[in-house]
Structure 1
Amino acid sequence: MHTHSSLLKQMESMGIDRTGTLLVHSSFKSIGEVDGGAETVLDALSDYMKEGLLVLPTHTWSYIDAQNPRFSVMESPSCIGILPELFRRRPGVIRSWHPTHSVAALGADAASFTAGDECWDTPCARGSVYGKLLDREAQIMLLGVDLRRNTFIHGIEEWVDIPGRMTDGHEALYTVTPGGEELAVPSRRHCGLSWSEHFWKVETVLEQGGALSRGRFGDAGVMLCSAVETTRILSAMLRADPDLFSDNEPLNGEDVPEALPKTKRGIPAQLAGKHAEG
């Protein structure tokens, strides 16, 4: 049986930066038997990142839409698993206000990190929390899930303006704030093919390029992605081939593309400071 202590040791062995920013996409069932269950898992993640910022997605895209347009920051449940749903309810955790792609964050600067997400009309705008992950040089922990669940890649697609990813028109969605105020948040949505179902294709490329490393958390396999390096590699690949994720065919051993120019902080120059319009 896995314990709080053993989970912490596994996180340390992966080289996760305790003082940095960690986004966790998760499958609780994949972890196996844990003494204390899901709450122990969240305790371990929170304790390990107590000097940094811990972020879990609390998305509601599966049911917040034109027919059900009101997202309640306090009440609307996450549609992507038990760990995000339990995490968002914990003391000190702050949830962002985007109606379909909110996240919950715990840490000293959680409020500034989550602030303003309702100002953007797409799920992963450069000025949203997903763009802030790049600015903060975050790590993305795929805990028992694969790249098909890595929402950050949708952000990269937005930032390099890959066509056909977003609806042209807006849905009339609303955010109900913790204080009960109702805010209009006209929103474009992901559309077209199931692009994310093809994200697995670049797993080997990211690993060979140093953007992805591996570890374990409980029984679950973990892929740990660098936001900066993932952006560097995939933005180059998508610019060269905007149809990269349009099919489910393997890449047949394609090499990592030539690196994009970097700023002093390591963020690709083409994307550093680039904010989409809200």
Structure 2
Amino acid sequence: MNGDVKVTEDEIAEGLGRLGLDSTSSVLVHASLRSFGRVAGGAEAVCRALVGTCGTVMMISGTWDLTGVPAPPGLVRPHNAYYNADTWAAFDDALESAVPFMSDLPVDRWLGRVSETLRLSFAHERSTHPLFSFLAVGTHARQLIEAQRLEWPLGPIDALAELGGHVLLLGVDHTSNTTIHLAEQHLGRSRFYRYAKVAPGAWAELPNVSGESHRFDEIEPELRPVTTEVRIGDCRARLIAVEDVLTCATRLIVNDPAALLCSDADCRCGAALQQRLATLT
């Protein structure tokens, strides 16, 4: 099927059914609208198919581009791989330009149109993390969202694992699979401090924000035996149990502290590795 062929909402729903999803399913969705080819009804059709098929749909709804600020001058955390404002004047300018988190802020554009459409078009629960919120629709939405704490932003994924939930990759690879970051953080890796505006003239330091993921697709061969895959239009759709992702990523990192990280000295991967090594000493 080529990019000129329309994919309908019904065809997307049918493909989700072929993956084994139904009204009892709870999923964390990472989606690329473009990957389907031309969708009749656009992102709204994708969201309707997801919500109509699954019992609970969760997505990341971060607002980093609007709420994030640099670290203030002089505040340097070990192995944190983040930049400081050069001066307090520059920090104050960044703080003035940022906005505090509000529940109606748009989702960062780099997270894709499907997440923003879910926010705009469906009654949902949304967490209030100043940088890294989640939104969810359906049966277990509130339970998942309430699992997030400022000091543990990936808590909704822990809660999803407890529900026997799944990661649903729609046209994206494992570099979008945030559940791998949770496995890292359970092992003391990829736990960064980041900064956000939280009120007029006020900022906060936020712990345990995850880091780089550009080598995460190296996990794909390891997960293949526990992955269900179908094609929906042009989209490669994959479903993996959250617990399977956590188990696999944990095994790889325990066997090799540098697993799924690059060797670029200027990358956050190096800082994440040092965090992991510090837990082993």
From 41, 44, 51, the equivalent of 2:49 is 44
- What residue in structure 2 maps to residue 77 of structure 1? 107
- What residue in structure 1 maps to residue 35 of structure 2? 30
TM-score normalized with structure 2 length: 0.74
- What residue in structure 2 maps to residue 174 of structure 1? 198
Cα offset, 1:75, TM superposition: 2.2
Give the 5 Å matches for 1:1-278: 1-49=6-54, 52-66=55-69, 67=94, 68=98, 70-79=100-109, 80-115=111-146, 117=148, 119-124=149-154, 128-162=155-189, 165-167=190-192, 169=193, 171=195, 173-174=197-198, 186-188=205-207, 190=209, 195-208=212-225, 210=226, 212-247=227-262
Secondary structure of 1:188's partner? strand
Cα offset, 1:174, TM superposition: 2.1
Specify whether residues 201 and 173 from structure 1 end up closer, same or farther in structure 2 by C-alpha distance, changes over 3 A only: same
**Which 5+ residue runs of structure 1 have no aligned equivalent?**
177-181, 249-278
Mapped to 1, the partners of 2:10 and 2:145 lie a distance apart of 30
Mapped to 2, the partners of 1:73 and 1:139 lie a distance apart of 25
Q: Does structure 2 retain, via aligned residues, the 8 Å contact 1:172–1:185? A: yes
Structure with higher Rg: it is: 2
Mapped to 1, the partners of 2:161 and 2:169 lie a distance apart of 16
Specify whether residues 173 and 149 from structure 1 end up closer, same or farther in structure 2 by C-alpha distance, changes over 3 A only: same
Question: Residue deviations 1:9-37, cap 9 Å, x none?
Answer: 11111112431211110110111122222
Cα offset, 1:63, TM superposition: 4.1
Identity %: 24
Mapped to 2, the partners of 1:172 and 1:60 lie a distance apart of 10
Structure number with higher helix proportion: 2
Count residues with an aligned counterpart: 231
Mapped to 1, the partners of 2:194 and 2:124 lie a distance apart of 30
Specify whether residues 216 and 84 from structure 1 end up closer, same or farther in structure 2 by C-alpha distance, changes over 3 A only: same
Mapped to 1, the partners of 2:199 and 2:27 lie a distance apart of 26
TM-score normalized with structure 1 length: 0.75
Mapped to 1, the partners of 2:32 and 2:169 lie a distance apart of 9
